[in-house]
Amino acid sequence: MSAAAVLHEARSLLRGAGLRAGLLVRDLGTGEEIGLEPDAVFPSASLVKVPLAVATLERIERGELDGATELRVGPGDAGAPGPPGISRFRHPATVAVDDLLYLAVAVSDGVAADALFDLTPPDRVRAELARLGIEGIAVRHVVRDLTDTPAERFPDGEVHLAHVLARSAGTGGRGHAVAQLDVTRANSGSARAHVDLLQALWLPSAVAPPVAARVRALLAANLHRQRLTPDFATDAARWSSKTGTLLNLRHEVGVVEHADGQRFAVAALSESQVAAVSQPGAEAVLGQVARQLRDVLRGG
């Protein structure tokens, strides 16, 4: 199937799943790429934890921070929705900075991420990205701001109303009544910007080699594997990634490394027009489309 035919089918699949998406797949060996709306900007949700990890590790590499330093964190609200980790703890815990990095990236623990943001606030993360020449990713607020959305204010039986608001309260200029979905106020970035970041981690760049290696290891340890993993992880392919989920946002960015040496950076950012919390069909379509784009570059 030609690239044009694949893109046409991809648009149809995404539309049928109720998704607006920005996708980009880049061959890290040749630089060749294929995408759909790769420069469209989306709120980042938990994807922000990747640049946070890069900035933290760069500071450790320079000796400004010590990865062995132990911080007192938590507890979170054990009854609140969210990923596993410190956010579900019932008592305070003492955790080393190195281990907070694991929890923030691999487990997507917001409490761990905010402990790191206390050390390296958003403005310093932005400064690190600028120093490294990584453009297009805006870091404006800490992760705890993501837990203050309409979804936390509705009773359990009415959470779908928050998704109705997420779907309907946006503006043509990508503004939104919900601050976390407004690209002018939220942490944000495009598929292209996230692929550029992944490339800087997998290929020689201004990122210190030990920092890049550590972030790659954290992404390989990602525990959230329901979205693109089924389409990219095989016995002959290693998939390293970070997901981002908030209200109607469903993202994943990562690198698939094939046993034959080919490597592809993949960014799939999406927002759903369906007012539902659980949408496994949309997750499956996003992965299917991303894989089809990879197949065009891989020649299969």
pLDDT single digits (tens) 130-156: 999 999 999 999 988 766 655 444 445
SS3 285: helix
Phi-psi region of 78 (alpha: psi -120 to 50; beta: other; left: phi over 0): alpha
Answer yes or no: is pLDDT of 77 > 80.
Answer: no
User: CA-based diameter of the chain, in Å?
Assistant: 56
* Strand residue runs (E) in 196-248: 237-246
19 bridge partner residues: 272
Phi, psi of 138 (to 5 degrees): -95, 125
Q: What is the per-residue pLDDT for 259?
A: 96
Least confident of 20-34, 118-132, 269-283: 269-283
The Cα 220–Cα 216 span in angstroms is 6
Q: Are 50 and 219 in contact (CB under 8 A)?
A: yes
Q: What is the per-residue pLDDT for 281?
A: 87
Show the domains of the chain with their CATH numbers.
3-298 (3.40.710.10)
pLDDT single digits (tens) 36-53: 999 999 999 999 999 999
Q: What is the per-residue pLDDT for 179?
A: 65
Cβ-Cβ contacts under 8 Å for 103 (sequence gap 6 or more): 85, 86, 95, 109, 112
More confident residue, 148 or 215: 215
What predicted TM-score, i.e. pTM, was given to this entire model?
0.89
The Cα 215–Cα 202 span in angstroms is 10
H or E stretch at 9 = helix 3-16
Residue type, 128: E
Angle at 132 between CA 131 and CA 137, to 5 degrees: 95
Q: What is the per-residue pLDDT for 151?
A: 46
SS3 265: strand
More confident residue, 193 or 172: 193
Cα–Cα nearest to 240, from 260, 212, 271:
212
Structure tokens, 273: 């027009």
- Work out the end-to-end distance of the chain between its first and last CA atoms, rounded to an integer number of angstroms: 9
